[in-house]
Amino acid sequence: MKCSFCGKEIKRGHGILYVKKDGSLIYFDDGKCQINMLELGRKAAKLKWARAGVIGKPTSQKSDKSVAKAAAKAMKAEARATAKTQKAEAKSAVQTAEKK
């Protein structure tokens, strides 16, 4: 068996078996993993000590969702900068018109 949180191998006769109300089973190698997952609500992929054992997701690659989020953030910042320069140009044009 492997720990449901950190992915470490659990020796026979060791570890914690947690049964949820819906009947699903969660295995933990120690209390540290149990507390971090159930009580503190942490994700193993975000913790350095648990990241190596997580199965399924590579740790070095960003997900498509995070890449899309970063691109949207960059576009939003660019739009703000463009609006700011246009506002400054309009303000300077009004000031020069008032001087004449």
Question: Which domain CATH number covers 28?
Answer: 2.30.170.20
Whether the per-residue pLDDT at 57 is higher than 70: the answer is no
Residues 71 and 44 in one domain: no
The pLDDT score that the predictor gives to residue 47 is 83
67 and 37 belong to one structural domain: no
pTM: 0.49
Q: Please give the residue range of the domain that contains residue 3.
A: 1-61
Summarised one tens digit per residue, pLDDT across range 15-55 is 999 999 999 999 999 999 999 999 999 888 888 888 755 55
8, pLDDT greater than 80: yes
Residues 51 and 99 in one domain: no
In this structure, the answer to whether residues 69 and 50 fall within a common structural domain is no
Q: Mark whether 67 and 93 lie in a shared domain.
A: yes
Identify whether residues 69 and 100 lie together within a single domain. yes
Which of 67 and 82 is assigned the larger pLDDT? 82
HEC assignment per residue over the chain: CECCCCCCECCCCCCEEEECCCCCEEEECCHHHHHHHHHCCCCHHHCHHHHCCCCCCCCCCCCHHHHHHHHHHHHHHHHHHHHHHHHHHHHHHHHHHHHC
Residues 57 and 75 occupy one common structural domain: no
Q: What total number of domains does the chain contain? A: 2
- Let me know whether 47 and 67 are in one domain: no
**13-17, 60-64, 67-71, 95-99: which range is least confident on average?**
60-64
